Amino acid sequence: MSASSAEGQRRLVEHVLNSVDPRLAPTLREAVARPGPTPRPAAGQTVVLCGHRSAGKSTLLPRVGGLLARRGLDLDTHLEQTHGRPLRKWVAEAPTEFRAAERRALLELPSGTLVAVGGGFLSHHPDALEGMFTLLIPVTFETYRERLLHDRTRPRLRPGLSLEEELSSVFQEREALHARVPTVALVDFLRGCLHLEESP
């Protein structure tokens, strides 16, 4: 890799770090600079950005796209456009139908696609991610809670609970489910992007 290309990669990595949960950014920045795993997706391998609601997947999608030289697709937006149904209403009225549609939509994408999936995908469809480069976008509960308390455009998942109770229970349950799925840590991926300049 040329010096200019390496510098470009470093700028793109910094752009990603500036866009993650600000509570995590300093720790991630330090971790990227330390030795550790450097995973990279294989040529033609689908890359999936996953994680909790409001983790910043849609924001990070074009930034990760810059690092991989791939155009990104937001699966939730794709589903709304394809089916002509607002996501908030769809999830509230027919959650089982929606989950089936999001799973099918991912599996129908061409190999090599860079895609950001919804907050429930990793916990509902872990087996659908087999063979894909599944990049987990981290978020603290504090940031997750703040963002979702202020964002009333997202569907309620457990309307029988108070919003505070819903946020806490969903976050804790999905954290446990996420831990069971093979994923790539964002910090390791970013370190891999920086180590491209050392590749033969």
Strand partners of residue 116? 49, 74
Residue 47 lies in a domain: yes
- Report the C-alpha gap between 134 and 131 in whole angstroms: 9
| Residue 200 pLDDT | 42
Structure tokens at 36: 């550790």
Count CB atoms within 10 A of the CB of residue 93.
11
Residue 197 lies in a domain: no
Residue 97 lies in a domain: yes
Summarised one tens digit per residue, pLDDT across range 82-128 is 999 999 899 989 999 999 999 999 999 999 999 999 999 999 999 99
Residue 4 lies in a domain: no
Residue 35 lies in a domain: no
Residue 60 lies in a domain: yes
Domain count for the chain, please give it: 1
Mean pLDDT calculated for residue range 24-51? 96
Count of residues in the chain:
200
Hey, is 116 helix, strand or coil?
strand
- The residue segments making up the domain with residue 87 are 42-185
pTM, full prediction: 0.93
Residue 192 lies in a domain: no
The answer to whether the CB of 118 falls within 8 A of the CB of 75 is yes
Residue 177 lies in a domain: yes
* CATH label of the domain that carries residue 145: 3.40.50.300
